[in-house]
Structure 1
Amino acid sequence: MPLILLAGYPSSGKTYRSQQLCEYLAKKIASSDDPRVRRLKVHHIDDQSVGLSRDVYASAKTEKDARATCSSAIKRSLNQDTIVIADGMNYIKGFRYQLYCEAKAMQTPNCVLHVGTPVDKCRELNNAALEAGTGGYDADVFENLVFRFEEPNGMSRWDAPLFTLPFDDDEPPCDAIWEAMVGSDGKAKVVRQNAATVLKPASEQNYLYELDKATSDVISAISVWQQDHPGEGGSEVAIPNAELKVTLPVTAPSLPQLQRLRRQFIGLNRQHTLSKSRILDLFIDYLNDSFQR
């Protein structure tokens, strides 16, 4: 059943909102006469439930390990009878994409609930928690996490459907989330697997080499096109041996930006077994989605 990701700045109230959502879902399931709904369970996952403290965000190494721990816990919990609420900042776009792929591989829908508390209010709440000794992030860690937060975008398929919850709202949009994820008749929408989201061992010979070379070929083709068309944006770039075209944003991306997206894609697809032509089209699709932000 569905995966519901919470996203927001540190100390934005995500845990409180996730508890509200858990209570709503539990009541909704208990009050239903539909056996398909009554069999559902709600599973809440946050840093504390998987044994992580807020100290993990103080260094890149421990933070990376923490994301892997959370991802594994979420993956283990996904099944047809469980609504998984992933309570965390989930502030990295690539991490949300990875979890979107995990949900799609299980043929279950997902959504993102963005707790839209303003950063100044988050800073105030964080400082109050530190002073009271009830939690909070160290000031340097807090500012670093705020700086690196990649706000969800409903135009990206891994962030859709996107529900934004203003700080002043009393409750999350629970009815809308239930309708989108479970449906009024208790039937979740059908999610089909595809080659981009089915994780299989990388058994193809020289797969990692092909993954590296294919993505490099795309970046090279874009760079050559930009050299021939300086300052032009919003155009389509044909890629040799690929069916799709790269649609550039109005502000042409720099080479470092392209390389960063390439590294993210490689990191997310190391375990797939795809032909080179399929890698090209998937990478182009990934770039086009990223450029829509």
Structure 2
Amino acid sequence: MPLVLISGFPSSGKTYRSQQLCESFQRKIQESHQPKVKRLTVLHIDDQGLGLSRDVYASARLEKDARATFSSALKRSLSRDVIVVADGMNYIKGFRYQLYCEAKAVQTPHCVIHIGTPVSKCRELNEAALKAGNGGYELEIFENLVFRYEEPNGMNRWDAPLFTIAADDVEPPCDAIWEAIVGSDGKAKVVRPNAATVVKPASEQDYLYDLDKTTSDVVAAISTWLSDHSGEGGSQVLIPGSEQEITLPLSAPSVPQLQRLRRQFIGLNRQHSLTKSRIRGLFIDYLNDVFQR
């Protein structure tokens, strides 16, 4: 069933709120008389359960591997009969977009829960946990994660519907969240996957070659434009062979960032039977989604 994505500052109480949500969902399932609801199960995925320590955030490589482990566990678990509560940092909007695509690919609803604990309170809780030897992040890691945190924005479809839980809230808005992801009658809204996320056997000859070449050409066109315009961000780039434009973010993407996004798109579409002529347009749509602010 749905994906419930938890996001918040380090030491903001994400796991505590996740456990509250899991308990509420389990009660609703047990008390329901509707067969579609009764067959649901609740799965809590977090770093600790996956054997990931807080030290992974001290290294870009280790953090990247940790995100891949988290994403893989979530992808394996997503189905229409499982409510997955993804309790992790999830502080990068590009990563939240990736998880949103995974949920949409299996046609299941999704929502984002923002743990709105202020930084000052998080810092206080983190220092107390360190002193007590009961978890916590090393101070340098904590400050770095706070600095890099990209707060969810309900205007972005990958962050919507968005629910914020304030630090002094006794309980999360469990009923509203349940209504959004399951529905009062057990019939949540139908999620239709994008053409770019529907998994079908690749049937066209040389499909993977075209997928690689077309996306490479788009990245090359953006890189050339940035080089010719001194790396200027916030502009629109017309891609050769397409009538669509890419709107760059104010902070222009680097070549490694563009290549990373290209690899992500290829990973999502490696097994798809996209029409070759549509690859360019779908990749442009994908980049515009990621660059949107």
Q: TM-score range by the shorter chain?
A: 0.7 to 0.9
Q: 1:111 to 1:243 in 2, by over 3 A?
A: farther
Q: 1:179 to 1:60 in 2, by over 3 A?
A: same
1:52-67 correspondence runs (5 A)? 52-67=52-67
Q: 1:201 to 1:111 in 2, by over 3 A?
A: same
CA distance in 1, matches of 2:22, 2:89: 17
Deviations 1:158-215 (A, max 9, x none): 1111111121211112111111100111012111123322357885225323211123
CA distance in 2, matches of 1:119, 1:201: 47
Alpha-carbon deviation of 1:123? 0.8
TM, length-normalised to structure 1: 0.87
1:45-56 correspondence runs (5 A)? 45-56=45-56
Partner of 1:160: 160
User: Percentage identity across aligned positions?
Assistant: 64
Q: What is the one-letter code of the residue matched to 1:152?
A: P
Select between 50-59 and 199-208 the one with higher mean Cα deviation: 199-208
Partner of 1:216: 220
Q: What is the one-letter code of the residue matched to 2:178?
A: W
Residue segments in structure 2 that go unaligned for 5+ positions in a row: none
Partner of 2:209: 205
Alpha-carbon deviation of 1:29? 0.9
CA distance in 2, matches of 1:237, 1:183: 42
CA contact (8 A) 1:45 1:85 kept: yes
Deviations 1:264-285 (A, max 9, x none): 4213112224556433323332
SS of the equivalent of 1:135 reads: coil
Q: 1:46 to 1:201 in 2, by over 3 A?
A: farther
Q: What is the one-letter code of the residue matched to 2:263?
A: G
CA distance in 2, matches of 1:199, 1:62: 29
Q: What is the one-letter code of the residue matched to 2:97?
A: Y
CA contact (8 A) 1:94 1:264 kept: no
Partner of 2:289: 289
1:137 aligns with 2:137: yes
CA contact (8 A) 1:247 1:288 kept: yes
Select between 24-33 and 163-172 the one with higher mean Cα deviation: 163-172
Q: What is the one-letter code of the residue matched to 1:162?
A: L
TM, length-normalised to structure 2: 0.87
SS of the equivalent of 2:155 reads: coil
Once superposed, which parts of structure 1, at least 4 consecutive aligned residues long, lie more than 4 Å away?
A: 199-203, 218-224, 235-238, 258-261, 273-277
Partner of 1:265: 261
Q: What is the one-letter code of the residue matched to 1:270?
A: I
CA distance in 1, matches of 2:181, 2:96: 17
Deviations 1:53-95 (A, max 9, x none): 2122221121111111111111111111110000011111121
1:178 aligns with 2:174: no
